[in-house]
Amino acid sequence: MLINLLFPPRCAGCGVEGARCCARCLAAFGPPRRVPVPGKGPPVFALADYRGPGRELVLALKERGRRDLAPVLGALVAAAVPKLPGCPAGCRNWWLVPAPSRRAAVRRRGGSHLVGVARCAGLPLARALAFAPGVADSVGLDAAARRANLAGRVRLVRGGLPPPGAGVVVLDDVVTTGATAAACVSALKIGGFRVPAVLTLTSTRGSHPHG
């Protein structure tokens, strides 16, 4: 296309010309790796560390308007879900539920970045979760403060739920303390949904290989 000749795409991870995400930066993402998080909830898995290309790509998608990365990251999610424990080979019957964002953040970003990724994954999508009023920005909060911030403030969205009793995988962009994942899982389980795993694009925590 002419526009690509005049304004060649640049990798959101390193800035090299020629692709929205170059092969070197894409290689930062791999198969799902289990992330050690506190609590007794379902296991949390990440596709990359929240540093280097992994961090840059998530920030570009989330804060810099690079929604052209949604198909790239969606393909990674689609490949990862069948590898999660508890998700059988017919994983297309399982639903992706994006973790919610604060309304102010969604407005500022022009929509939910995670919904875009989930749509591009090609799996059933349910916008089943939302934050109740009073949730503060979690940046700078420690683990205890994050848990307190979210306690009882993740709610189910009527009209956005999967079929009753469906199995769901929570999708997030980065896991730090595990507080958001735990709050999302709690709300879904109260609603009667099965949650075998949480999948996050990146993690700030150490991880170890699946299995």
Q: pLDDT tens digit string along 80-132?
A: 999 998 876 555 678 999 999 887 777 788 778 999 999 999 999 999 999 88
**Is the per-residue pLDDT at 147 higher than 60?**
yes
Tokens of 56: 């840059």
Is position 120 within any domain? yes
Tokens of 160: 């956005």
Assign 3-class secondary structure to 10-34: ECCCCCCECCCCCHHHHCCCCCCEE
Is position 22 within any domain? no
The predicted pLDDT at position 88 comes to 63
The predicted pLDDT at position 209 comes to 43
Displacement of CA 1 from its chain's centroid (Å): 31
What is the domain count for the chain? 1
Please identify which residue in the block is written with the tokens 């640049």. 10
**Is the per-residue pLDDT at 190 higher than 70?**
yes
Q: Look up the pTM and report it.
A: 0.89
Asked if 161 contacts 191 with a C-beta cutoff of 8 angstroms, the reply is yes
Tokens of 196: 């075998």
Share above pLDDT 90 across residues of the chain, in percent, rounded to a whole number: 64
The predicted pLDDT at position 12 comes to 94
CATH code, 175: 3.40.50
Is position 144 within any domain? yes
Domain hosting residue 59, numbered range: 28-209
**Three-state DSSP class for residue 93:** helix
Q: What is the mean pLDDT of the chain?
A: 87
